[in-house]
Amino acid sequence: MYTIQGYVKVKSLEEAYELNQKKSSAVIGGGMWLRLGSRAIGTAIDLSDLELDRIEETEDEFIIGCMTSLRNIECHEGLNRYFHGMMKNMLKGIVGTQFRNMATIGGSLYQRFGFSDPLTAFLALDTTVEMYAGGMIPLDEFVSMNYDRDILVRIHVKKDGRRAAYQSFRNTKTDFPVLAVGASRMADTWKVTIGARPARAVTAENSEKLSDRLAGDLPEEAVERVIREFASEVSEKVRFGSNMRAGGEYRRMLSEVLIYRAVRDILSQSEEQEM
């Protein structure tokens, strides 16, 4: 539960940034994740008048405002078409439709929660966060940074032709994920990200290793063996922890399954494109 002493609907990002320099201030976004903790907020900063609740598609990228709801991303035709339904798969398990109508992508990424589905998924893509003071920061770098008083303004996702997939496992449909995996293929480079481990998402693989092993006209049983070996090797690179949802060793074994499924999904997308 949280309490708010003062509330300001700002008229500019500059005003928001200046107000946010006080430790007692907070950008409220959709306000959904604030409920996870207990906090006294001196000044709640509302960005809803700054037109940051929209998704823009250009020739080169998708630009997503920080106040865009998770539901709007989940249902966005352009994002789902370009990334082969990844957005819908990534967001459909988060609590419920009412929650996703309120929760914002800015709050979901800025907090870098260990359980964050969007963080794991967007990390598998070529994603850059636009900060008010810090400028453009690759998400791969942003995910490991310490928290500061800057404001996340927009998310930029490149349209670079990569194929992508998202997999997660939950004990119940609306619970936080026990484990999450994002994967993408850009030309011959495969990228695999793992979240809900239960620490922040990490990039576990970003190389051409899998493409090299799949080169040539391999029989199906050889392809199966290569993918499973790759999934096992990638999972060994990641440190998994334990919490009330699962133990570390269980998460490691589960990661092999989810990596395998994500790779298979991407390969099937390529096959469909060739047909």
pLDDT digits (tens, 9 = 90+) for 141-188: 999 999 999 999 999 999 999 999 999 999 998 889 999 999 999 999
- Type of residue numbered 267: L
Instruction: Indicate if 31 and 76 belong to the same structural domain.
Output: no
Alpha carbon distances (Å) from 152 to 2, 82, 117: 22, 24, 18
Whole-number pLDDT of residue 271: 65
CATH number at 87 reads: 3.30.465.10
Instruction: Indicate if 175 and 73 belong to the same structural domain.
Output: no
Beta strands 61-65; 25-27: pairing state: unpaired
Which residue, of 126, 158, 190, is where some domain finishes?
158
pLDDT at 1 over 60: yes
Q: Which two tokens stand for residue 83?
A: 């990334």
How many domains is the chain built from? Answer: 3
Radius of gyration of the chain (CA): 19
pLDDT at 272 over 70: no
Token pair 């990200």: residue: 193
Instruction: Indicate if 85 and 36 belong to the same structural domain.
Output: no
pLDDT digits (tens, 9 = 90+) for 54-92: 999 999 999 999 999 999 999 999 999 999 999 999 999
Instruction: Indicate if 16 and 68 belong to the same structural domain.
Output: no
Instruction: Indicate if 170 and 270 belong to the same structural domain.
Output: yes
Structure letter (DSSP) for residue 147: P
Which residue, of 158, 188, 210, is where some domain finishes?
158
pLDDT at 274 over 60: no
Instruction: Indicate if 154 and 205 belong to the same structural domain.
Output: no
pLDDT at 99 over 70: yes
Domain of 67 in residue numbering reads as 55-158
Q: What is the pTM of this model?
A: 0.93
Residue 227's SS3 state is helix
Which residue, of 110, 139, 158, is where some domain finishes?
158
CATH number at 178 reads: 3.30.390.50
Instruction: Indicate if 264 and 237 belong to the same structural domain.
Output: yes
